[in-house]
């Protein structure tokens, strides 16, 4: 490569050097961007690894607490998807509520059913009463997430989107 470069005239050497610098100027920002993304990804992987290490270090405590909580559950009080839907429908009586489709996640012993309840144009007292009725059924029925919005045209009227979950104890396979 050196012999090739030195065999060129001064004008060709300057042009080759200029092309090399333009190529480097074009390539360098992309390479630096990828390097920065790689460093950020590596940092997030290290942070996730630390979180996982903490969870694994507390494994025995978590398993003991989960076993104690599972032992405290009465399987007769747990709600399957249809029962959770019916119970929420009963609790939302009198509210302008829409109960959306359910999503279920299953493990060996439990199923977790999630339902979204959208309440439109309700007063705060009605929403609080609905919330208290749900929390009275805990841990079998509980609020996972709730967001409120104010109706700007009518003071004192709220709309709410409430994500509720229910726990179902599954019969052991066998």
Could you read off the pLDDT of 110-155 as tens digits, one per residue?
Answer: 889 999 999 999 999 999 999 999 999 888 899 999 999 998 888 8
- CATH node for 75-169: 3.30.70.60
The average confidence (pLDDT) of the chain is: 88
C-beta pairs of 72-80 under 8 Å, 24+ apart in sequence = 73/139, 73/140, 73/167, 73/169, 75/169, 77/140, 78/140, 78/166, 78/167, 78/168, 78/169, 79/113, 79/140, 79/141, 79/166, 79/167, 79/168, 80/111, 80/113, 80/168
pLDDT recorded at residue 174: 54
């Amino acid at each position: 490569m050196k012999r090739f470069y030195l065999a060129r005239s001064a004008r060709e050497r300057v042009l080759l050097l200029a092309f090399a610098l333009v190529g480097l100027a074009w390539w360098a920002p992309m390479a630096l961007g990828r390097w920065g993304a790689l460093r950020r990804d590596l940092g997030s992987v290290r942070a996730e690894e630390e979180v996982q290490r903490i969870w694994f270090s507390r494994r025995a405590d978590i398993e003991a607490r989960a076993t104690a909580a599972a032992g405290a559950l009465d399987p007769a009080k747990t709600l399957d998807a249809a029962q959770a839907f019916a119970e929420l429908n009963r609790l939302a009586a009198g509210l302008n509520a829409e109960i959306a489709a359910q999503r279920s996640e299953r493990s060996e012993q439990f199923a977790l059913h999630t339902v979204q309840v959208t309440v439109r144009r309700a007063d705060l007292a009605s929403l609080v009463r609905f919330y208290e009725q749900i929390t009275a059924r805990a841990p079998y029925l509980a609020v996972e997430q709730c967001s409120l919005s104010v109706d700007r045209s009518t003071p004192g009227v709220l709309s709410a989107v409430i994500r509720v979950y229910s726990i179902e104890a599954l019969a052991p396979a066998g």
